[in-house]
């Protein structure tokens, strides 16, 4: 099925009149194109150079490297001057009872106040600041306040455990943590400050904790370390002039090996890319009310709740709650209430609301909507159709946007005024983006219709620059398997028309409800307790989450625990080491794992078992213990 693009294409920012020319410019001279695009920002000194990068070792990526700017000035001050009364952020609380419309001039006042408080706490340019917060306005102030004074923020999602938080604090060497007394989400409270206290028992790194009291609950404060946030409006903090390549933030993300990596994004290139893609892909104009439902703890929240829309002077919605609380009509009601015209969410949310039933759509019209977006995982056709037919009433193009924490912004997506829509296809690369499909030998597949590993052969301004503190890991992870390319870790198909269909990760990374989790990371967490000696983790298709987590665990020979107890020990370990987001869907206690004679776990076999694709297991005679496969199948089937 193909849905034709809307007829009135002239109304779109990118339309049939300007598309070809932009496409040509980006193709013929990417450096000139991107330098032109950088003009959308306000620079203290406009750059004379554009891209300066190489994908051969030593890998080096720089954009606009002699430019000077301040990211917060771009997102706040210039709009506070031009459109002071315009709403910058529309915040909706968890209960849905309260909405705050914050204008650009108010945003400036608040960001300035927090920047001043941070300065008084000794935070300087280049310092790392951990932000462990719920979706409240102060979180936006905190990010922008860091940007204003040149500090590097690292937002840690509130669903991560104290252990994960401590690991990130240590890795980036943060001196200060900004947190809230507690978070409220879906009617439940999250003890953020208590989690910080626990995390700080494990690291001496942090000297100050700035606590925002978002609710009336009071929390214990540590003398000389903890400070209650009181905005100080008395002083003006001048934005610090930053080089385009000065770091803006670090965001941790899971990979196929080891602990999470600190993805580092810099200032000028990132903001150019986030702002351009937000405006053109979502066709975001002056009067739009734009809502991306992501939490700011993820890259989508960085680029498409905060930096992209605010750099464009748009009105961005920030929602504290979750889609199905108190009822599954929650998002639709907010759309009607706030007259949201552009709505961007994740397939997992769409599937869960679809499952809740069409009746939850009936009390709302959603007539204000004009563009819909999807991100985070492949969107299945059924969910796409429901989103298109029922939520958007066939009036709104869906932009299915493929990108990653590492890419900073969207790379492959339809443009609403240009592409015909194919449910489940992310369709075409954005301007200047050069995807390729590689075969197992690392050669480009040139046929139009093909399948392979998705890689990029040229840089773009939003690309990550390094893994914080470990450039060798950056080179190893993304550039060593296929030298000369940035390898995404995803597989994709390309059809006869040249449109891309992302098929999902080809490495040991799971995508659970749109959140990336490394199997190695979960395995390490699951064996934290001595009663478990070894585990293997694989994903399996899950109706709502996209992918579910299945753990196979071998108990210690001398354990006195019963199976049910072992399961709860594993759950407890995963919760404490990573956080509730990695809670397994199924745990199977087994006697052994399928291993080669050299001891390597054959996850492929476990994946077949997890998917009940027993016929695909194939020959197991080369395993150290071929009989173990039958045993594991029995255990899994007995539980089913």
Residues of this chain that interact with ligand WTA (CB under 6 A) are 253, 298-300, 375-378, 400-405, 426, 488-490, 502, 504-505, 511, 516
List, in sequence order, every beta strand (DSSP E) within 73-134: 87-92, 99-103, 128-132
Q: How far is the CB of 401 from ligand WTA (least distance, A)?
A: 5
Q: How far is the CB of 502 from ligand WTA (least distance, A)?
A: 4
Q: How far is the CB of 379 from ligand WTA (least distance, A)?
A: 7
Q: DSSP letters along 27-52, please?
A: HH-HHHHHHHHGGGS-EEE--S--EE
Shorter beta-carbon distance to ligand WTA: residue 210 or 492: 492
Note if the bond before 326 is cis, omega within 30 degrees.
Answer: yes
β-strands 486-494, 450-456: how paired?
antiparallel
Residue 304: name the closest of 381, 390, 246, 371 by CA.
371
Q: How far is the CB of 260 from ligand WTA (least distance, A)?
A: 11
Shorter beta-carbon distance to ligand WTA: residue 330 or 516: 516
Between the alpha carbon of residue 540 and those of residues 355, 378, 437, 587, 613, the distances in Å are 19, 14, 25, 12, 11
Structure tokens at 258: 């080891």
Structure tokens at 284: 């975001």
Buried b (16+ CB within 10 A) or exposed e, 157-193: bbbbbbbbbbbbbebbebbbbbbbbbbbbeeeebbbb
Shorter beta-carbon distance to ligand WTA: residue 261 or 370: 261
Q: How far is the CB of 116 from ligand WTA (least distance, A)?
A: 33
Between the alpha carbon of residue 265 and those of residues 86, 403, 409, the distances in Å are 29, 15, 11
Q: How far is the CB of 599 from ligand WTA (least distance, A)?
A: 29
Q: How far is the CB of 361 from ligand WTA (least distance, A)?
A: 23
Q: How far is the CB of 452 from ligand WTA (least distance, A)?
A: 15
Beta-carbon count within 10 A of 222 CB? 11
Q: Residue 168: helix, strand or coil by DSSP? A: helix
In the sheet where 242-243 sits, what is the strand order? 43-45, 68-69, 242-243
Shorter beta-carbon distance to ligand WTA: residue 50 or 253: 253
Shorter beta-carbon distance to ligand WTA: residue 266 or 300: 300
Residue 41: name the closest of 18, 19, 12, 72 by CA.
72
Question: What phi, psi does 590 have (nearest 5°)?
Answer: -125, 165
Shorter beta-carbon distance to ligand WTA: residue 263 or 310: 263
Shorter beta-carbon distance to ligand WTA: residue 183 or 462: 462
Between the alpha carbon of residue 445 and those of residues 36, 477, 478, 491, the distances in Å are 32, 22, 19, 13
Shorter beta-carbon distance to ligand WTA: residue 267 or 405: 405
Q: How far is the CB of 188 from ligand WTA (least distance, A)?
A: 23
Q: How far is the CB of 505 from ligand WTA (least distance, A)?
A: 5
Structure tokens at 625: 């213990």
Shorter beta-carbon distance to ligand WTA: residue 421 or 426: 426
Question: What phi, psi does 505 have (nearest 5°)?
Answer: -70, 145
Contact 487, 495 (CB under 8 A): no
Shorter beta-carbon distance to ligand WTA: residue 488 or 573: 488
Q: How far is the CB of 576 from ligand WTA (least distance, A)?
A: 23
Give me the residues paired with residue 518 across strands. Answer: 509
Shorter beta-carbon distance to ligand WTA: residue 450 or 554: 450
Between CA 546 and CA 405 the distance in angstroms is 19
Residue 364: name the closest of 398, 389, 383, 337 by CA.
337
Q: How far is the CB of 543 from ligand WTA (least distance, A)?
A: 17
Q: How far is the CB of 276 from ligand WTA (least distance, A)?
A: 16
Shorter beta-carbon distance to ligand WTA: residue 504 or 592: 504
Give me the residues paired with residue 372 across strands. Answer: 343, 398
Shorter beta-carbon distance to ligand WTA: residue 247 or 376: 376
Contact 196, 332 (CB under 8 A): no
């Amino acid at each position: 099925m193909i849905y034709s693009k809307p007829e009135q294409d002239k109304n779109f920012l990118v339309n049939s009149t300007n598309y070809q020319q932009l496409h040509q410019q980006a193709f013929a001279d990417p450096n000139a194109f991107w330098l032109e695009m950088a003009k959308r920002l306000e620079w203290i000194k406009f750059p004379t150079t554009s891209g300066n990068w190489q994908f051969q070792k030593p890998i080096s990526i720089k954009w606009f490297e002699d430019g000077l700017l301040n990211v917060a000035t771009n997102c706040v001050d210039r709009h506070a001057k031009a459109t002071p009364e315009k709403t910058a952020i529309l915040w909706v609380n968890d209960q849905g009872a309260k909405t705050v419309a914050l204008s650009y001039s108010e945003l400036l006042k608040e960001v300035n106040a927090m920047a001043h408080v941070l300065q008084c706490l000794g935070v300087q340019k280049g310092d790392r600041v951990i932000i462990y917060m719920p979706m409240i306005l102060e979180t936006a102030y905190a990010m922008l306040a860091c940007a204003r004074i040149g500090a590097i923020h690292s937002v840690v999602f509130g669903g991560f455990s104290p252990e994960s938080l401590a690991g990130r604090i240590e890795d980036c060497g943060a001196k200060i943590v900004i947190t809230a007394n507690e978070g409220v989400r879906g009617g439940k409270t999250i003890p953020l400050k208590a989690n910080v206290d626990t995390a700080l028992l494990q690291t001496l790194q942090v000297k100050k904790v700035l606590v925002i009291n978002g609710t009336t609950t009071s929390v214990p404060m540590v003398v000389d370390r903890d400070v209650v946030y009181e905005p100080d409006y008395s002083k003006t903090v001048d934005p610090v002039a930053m080089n385009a390549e000065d770091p803006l933030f670090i965001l941790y993300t899971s990979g196929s090996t080891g602990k999470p990596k600190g993805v580092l994004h810099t200032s000028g290139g990132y903001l150019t890319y986030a702002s351009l893609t937000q405006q053109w892909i979502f066709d975001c104009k002056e009067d739009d009310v734009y809502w991306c439902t992501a939490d700011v703890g993820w890259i989508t929240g960085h680029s498409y709740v905060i930096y992209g829309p605010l750099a464009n002077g748009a009105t961005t919605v920030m929602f504290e709650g979750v889609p199905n609380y108190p009822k599954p009509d929650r998002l639709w009601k907010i759309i009607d209430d706030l007259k949201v015209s552009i709505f961007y969410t994740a397939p997992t949310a769409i599937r869960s609301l679809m499952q809740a039933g069409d009746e939850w759509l009936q009390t709302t019209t959603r007539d204000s909507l004009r563009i819909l977006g999807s991100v985070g995982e492949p969107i299945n056709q059924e969910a796409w159709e429901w989103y298109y037919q029922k939520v958007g009433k066939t009036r709104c193009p869906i932009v299915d946007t493929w990108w990653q924490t590492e890419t900073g912004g969207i790379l492959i997506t339809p443009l609403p005024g240009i592409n015909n829509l194919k449910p489940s296809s992310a369709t075409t690369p954005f301007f200047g983006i050069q995807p390729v499909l590689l075969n197992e030998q690392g050669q480009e597949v040139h046929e139009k219709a093909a399948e392979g590993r998705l890689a990029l052969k040229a840089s773009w301004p939003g690309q990550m620059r390094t893994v914080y503190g470990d450039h060798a890991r950056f080179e190893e992870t993304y550039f060593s398997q296929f030298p000369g390319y940035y390898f995404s870790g995803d597989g994709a198909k390309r059809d006869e028309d040249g449109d891309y269909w992302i098929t999902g990760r080809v490495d040991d990374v799971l995508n659970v409800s749109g959140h990336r989790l490394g199997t190695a990371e979960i395995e390490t967490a699951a064996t934290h307790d001595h009663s478990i000696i070894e585990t293997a983790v694989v994903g399996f298709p899950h109706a709502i989450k996209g992918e579910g987590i299945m753990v196979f665990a071998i108990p210690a020979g001398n354990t006195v625990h019963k199976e049910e107890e072992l399961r709860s020990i594993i759950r407890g370990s995963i919760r404490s080491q990573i956080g509730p987001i990695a809670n397994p869907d199924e745990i199977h206690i087994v006697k052994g794992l399928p291993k080669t004679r050299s001891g390597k776990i054959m996850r492929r076999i476990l994946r077949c078992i997890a998917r009940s694709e027993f016929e695909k297991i194939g020959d197991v005679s080369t395993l150290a213990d071929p009989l173990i496969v039958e045993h594991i199948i029995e255990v899994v089937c007995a539980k089913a």
